[in-house]
With several copies, the nearest count.
Chain A
């Protein structure tokens, strides 16, 4: 890690921009402390934060399971699971302050609820009752974005705008490995760099874009190597190691907040489930690959680590699980109610005030029989 000090000119030297040669790690796959040289000079997060992350990850995992179950009951139109990516989903959000902004994708519902958005509202899009079920302005969570990478320039613009207003807001944007191939990812990194916008780009490299494996997506040594070409400081981290994610993202957010410009962080992780409930992952990958990654499970790993450090009791674990269960049950119950959706809203929110044509059309379409 390059500490966020020194003048901007120096910090734009390649050596200050390139990522660590291998992913930063604090905890090995078995939950044991990783050797110091893998820490990349980062500081471990405070224990309290690590424990908070654990609780949220347990909750997030349970929520994710429940959401997948809801698709089977027809309560959700579709659900892209982030099982296996809990450390990224939770670690990312915990690095933010309330006044910061999160720009998630369709995959990041777990992050959205971690941020405090009501679960049922967060599931609005996937339930099909409105495009964005929560209020972005009050939650400071942008709508979950579907067109890949298109939200990245928004994050850059918002971050720059906030800085222009004298705020010290940071914008964190989640992108998939596939999303990095889109032109908008490139343009967003470049704008953020040129305008020194406080954006943290978090690439959750879960090794698949639906069925397309990483090797077909990029020939880069690692996606984090994209940063240097924009003058953007970059890092790669073991995305299944919550401690490492917290450490690296705390540093990245601090770097951005202090006016040193954007940071690109690649979190190496894995999508355990199929792309969505509607996908059939058996068509393009072996179960053995999934099994190997299951053994690097981020929740179990953090649990083992905290236990090993005598920082997590059985009672705390039980408690976390109970809380998660309650949350899941409450979510399921609330999702059982039929969504209420006022068709007239369709015409209300096209413009601040509907045009004459919209009035007419509304009356015609909603007034008609049937």
Chain B
């Protein structure tokens, strides 16, 4: 059956709620409305107001309240309406959610999932297209995962809800309506494992979330020009699958990291830094990054100038010190 990413996410919460009644879903507009993206559609109807409910409009409050509920044994799944609207919760996330277990030597644990729709390409007005995942990856104590496929949306979210630790679950808005033939429930690779989306020998593209389809498209295009491109979907930024990444790059000798977030100190920088370290002797060219530009996210009409598209990936590939010049 063709299932959309939104449906898969919905099913994941639904199944988790059915399996464990300590799982609660709350946030802004997640109740009757079912979320502005309908990811929580029907949960209140089917599980009752006690299990899926709206809160006052205050993100720091939502996350802090969820932490308190976790202390009472609940497993809260909270929704931040858009990436930039999670910023008010930054202190709660950085100073408490990420640190509570460590602070208390494992006594107080925070099995919380913070769902954040992220990224652009949907024609959103300002503040609706930020890619904030890198901030969370820079906070020790948080796991950060992001699906690029419908099956992963289900499986990663189930795993996130089951996880004994806080998980920042980044949902690529642009892929919310993407569909795939999937039978739910489905389980895919676990946290910390990258997935091979396309096999290749000449070069490794590393992508996650919204850039995975873009990377695949670029790989196809490069394939037509005679380059055999491997594409890895990272899925889990923290923990990161260093082994699979390194194995691939050691084989291909070339690597481009593709991410929507602005480049400076983004997760892509981390990945590039690791790859050059791990694969130094195998690299035939520097690790390049194709990322969002170093500017505030543009208004819709100009967002293509910001986003890492196929052309920019191909440009980067062309620069990878090939023995003979490649024309892409």
A and B touch in the complex (CB under 8 A): yes
Which residues on A are within 8 Å of B, measured CB to CB? 77-78, 106, 125-126, 128-132, 135-138, 142-143, 146-148, 150, 152-162, 164-165, 171, 178-179, 181-184, 186-188, 190-191, 194, 209-212, 216-218, 279-280, 283-284, 339, 341, 343, 345-352, 355-358, 361, 365-366, 368-370
Residues of B in contact (CB 8 Å), total 77
For B305, give the chain A residue with the smallest CB separation: A343
Q: Is the CB of B54 within 8 A of A184?
A: no
22 contacts between A and B (CB under 8 A): A78-B125, A128-B301, A143-B108, A146-B126, A147-B85, A147-B95, A147-B96, A150-B91, A154-B67, A158-B69, A161-B68, A181-B56, A182-B58, A183-B58, A184-B64, A191-B58, A194-B55, A280-B33, A346-B305, A350-B295, A355-B192, A356-B239
| Chain B stretch 249-264: residues in CB contact (< 8 A) with chain A | none
Asked whether A161 lies within 8 Å of B71 as measured between CB atoms, the reply is yes
* Contact call A157/B67, Cβ cutoff below 8 A: yes
Interface string of B185-203 (1 = CB under 8 A from A): 0000000100000000000
Tell me whether B210 is interfacial, beta carbon within 8 Å: no
Within 8 A of A (CB), among B205-263: 238-240, 242
In angstroms, Cα B294 to Cα A357, docked, is: 8
In the complex, are the beta carbons of B29 and A128 less than 8 A apart? no
Interface of B is mostly: loop
Whether B121 is near chain A, meaning CB under 8 Å from some CB there, is no
Q: Which residues of A contact B67 (CB under 8 A)?
A: 153-154, 157
- Asked if A181 and B57 make an inter-chain contact with CB atoms under 8 angstroms apart, the answer reads yes
Interface residues of B in 69-116 (CB under 8 A from A): 69-74, 84-85, 87-88, 91-92, 95-96, 99-109
Task: State A154–B242 Cα separation when bound (angstroms).
Answer: 36
Instruction: Identify which of A128, A156, A365 contacts B65 (C-beta below 8 A).
Output: A156
In the bound assembly, the distance between CA atoms of A131 and B123 in angstroms comes to 12
A361 in contact with B294 (CB, 8 Å): yes
* Given the contacts A128-B301, A211-B32, A357-B294, A147 and B68 also touching, CB distance less than 8 Å: no
Inter-chain CA distance A165–B32, complex, in Å, is 24
Which residue of chain A has the shortest Cβ distance to B108 in the bound complex? Answer: A136
Asked whether, in the complex, the Cβ of B103 is within 8 Å of the Cβ of A131, the reply is yes
Say yes or no: A349 contacts B55, CB within 8 Å. Answer: no
Kindly list chain A residues whose C-beta atoms are within 8 Å of the C-beta of B126.
125, 131, 146
Assess the B72–A183 pair: CB atoms within 8 A.
no
Say whether, besides A147-B91, A150-B91, A211-B32, A357 and B242 are in contact (CB < 8 Å).
yes
B33 neighbours in A (Cβ, 8 Å): 210-211, 279-280, 283-284
- The complex places the Cα of A161 from the Cα of B211 at a distance, in Å, of 39
Give the nearest-CB partner of A145 in chain B.
B96
Chain B neighbourhood of A191, CB < 8 A: 55-56, 58, 61, 65
CA distance A161 to B104 in the complex (A): 20
Verify B106–A190 contact, CB threshold 8 A.
Answer: no
In the complex where A210-B29, A368-B315 touch, is A178 in contact with B57 (Cβ < 8 A)? yes
Question: Which B residue's beta carbon lies closest to that of A193?
Answer: B56
Which of B3-11, B146-154, B169-177, B306-314 sits within the interface?
B306-314
Query: How far is A190 from B61 in the complex, measured between Cα atoms in Å?
Result: 9
Cβ-based interface call for B34 (8 A): yes
| Chain A residue at minimal CB-CB distance from B105 | A349
Q: Tell me the bound Cα distance from A209 to B57 in angstroms.
A: 8
Task: Indicate whether B293 reaches chain A with its CB closer than 8 angstroms.
Answer: yes
Give the docked Cα–Cα distance between A152 and B61 (Å): 9
B165 within 8 A of A: yes
Give complex CA distance A126, B124 in Å: 9
Residues 38-72 of B contacting A (Cβ, < 8 Å): 50, 54-58, 60-61, 63-72
Minimum-distance CB pairs A-B, first 3: A157-B68, A153-B64, A161-B72
Assuming A135-B105, A346-B306, what are 19 further A-B pairs, CB within 8 angstroms? Answer: A125-B299, A129-B299, A130-B105, A130-B299, A138-B107, A143-B100, A147-B96, A160-B65, A164-B72, A183-B61, A190-B58, A190-B61, A212-B55, A341-B299, A346-B102, A346-B293, A349-B104, A352-B106, A356-B192
